[in-house]
Structure 1
């Protein structure tokens, strides 16, 4: 067989191990958080834009 070729009869003979243990996974509800996030900016928009320009220049 050449590169990339395969025996089509092998497609039917593939075995997959699908015996997953329920305890092995991560519970998606395990770390749920409820609440609010608030930000307080002490700099003005112009000051923040100036800082951004300084960062872009370096």
Structure 2
């Protein structure tokens, strides 16, 4: 078979029952966490903004 070809027999019996209780779907709420993240740094806001600008400039060059 060439590129883009497919076997039509593989396309049969593709019925999906989304309401099946035994299905192993992904729960997007399974690992929800509420909280707060903090960190301490000796860098000033201006230094951090300069670093961010350098990162963005480096990404633009690629």
TM-score where L is the length of structure 2: 0.40
Pair member with larger Rg? 1
Q: Which has the higher helix share?
A: 1
